[in-house]
Amino acid sequence: MNSFIQVQIRLEDLAKLLECKFKGDPDAQIRHIGDINYLVENKGPFRDNCIYFVNSDKLLPSLPETNAEFVILGNPGVASHFKNVILTESQPRVNFIRLLEFFQSKISNPVNSNEMVHPGVKIPAGTTIAPGVYLGEGVELGANCTVYANAVIEPFSRIGDNTVIHSGAFIGRHSVIGSHCIIYPNAVIGADGFGYIDEDATRYKIPQIGNVALADYVEIGAGTTIDRSTIESTTVGSHTKIDNQVQIAHNCVIGQYVYIAGKASLAGSVKVHDRAILAGGCGIRDHVRIAEGSVILAFTGIEEDTQPNQTYFGIPARKVREMHRIHSALTHLPELVKAARRNRG
């Protein structure tokens, strides 16, 4: 749960702001927002003073039992299961967007008016900052870092010791970069996630209020983009190496010791487990799980969860031996078609 969003509002006041009804304690305090899917994935618990969007009773059996004082934004079908609820009787997803917009308005992301380096930023011993670098308010730099020309580090981002950020790299607000990382030229860490919904002939953008967190010894290739999450954090585990021009969408979770080669593309909420290998140009559908030790060969399209320590190839992907048998059989297809035509004649 992101600690950088500063909110304090009563349940009744937030319901009025969202133009919704509520049930429960009107004085219940809301200070945080949580991702219900993240909570289910990580087996809870609910957090005190936190609001969650639950729009389907299908999630109810997966939710943890808790004594925490939290609030649900949800439809009447789920309201009876919870003490404090803001009711979304119509357009629930639009109400969720309004909730995100409220929290987004509380995120601090000031722009330095005149200085390239905010005067409050401390440059530790051994850290070198090249000309043209932008360091926003609240940026924290570790010791022995190197930041090359024209890199941008937005407000309240944290950079660990011995990390190198090359020219033109962009580090979005509230990002966390570990120690001994290398961010190559023109990489983008913390871009806005690609989230939209269409409701009643109107297109709404879903605010992306989370951040990106990289662990230690991570390398991010030139021109690669990692989108910040909708609510929580898009994460990359330690010792993972990501090549040039890779796309990692919002809410992805990348494990440790993973290799991702150039032009691979991961849609939203993909989870890549430890020591998986994704070869160049492969594409992973949203919400898919790449199991530990899986190998995804070049230009493969993954539509379903993989199995541990298996190799996959093709579009749609199959285990590599099965796909090679299919390709071998296809070489005989023209002869089989000719034979079928002769038999019909």
CA gap 251, 234 in Å, rounded: 5
How many helices (H) and strands (E) would you count in the chain?
6, 37
Alpha carbon separation from 259 to 7, 276, 298, 316 (Å, rounded): 38, 7, 13, 21
Report the candidate in 258, 225, 226, 222 with the shortest Cα–Cα distance to residue 243: 222
H or E element, residue 314: none
Q: Phi and psi dihedrals of 36, rounded to 5? A: -65, -35
Tokens of 82: 């919870």
DSSP H helical ranges for the chain: 11-17, 36-41, 76-79, 92-104, 320-330, 333-344
Tokens of 145: 């870092």
CA gap 304, 287 in Å, rounded: 9
**Catalytic positions, written as ranges:** 250
Report the candidate in 147, 144, 159, 162 with the shortest Cα–Cα distance to residue 116: 147
Cα dihedral 173→179→182→186 (10° resolution): 10
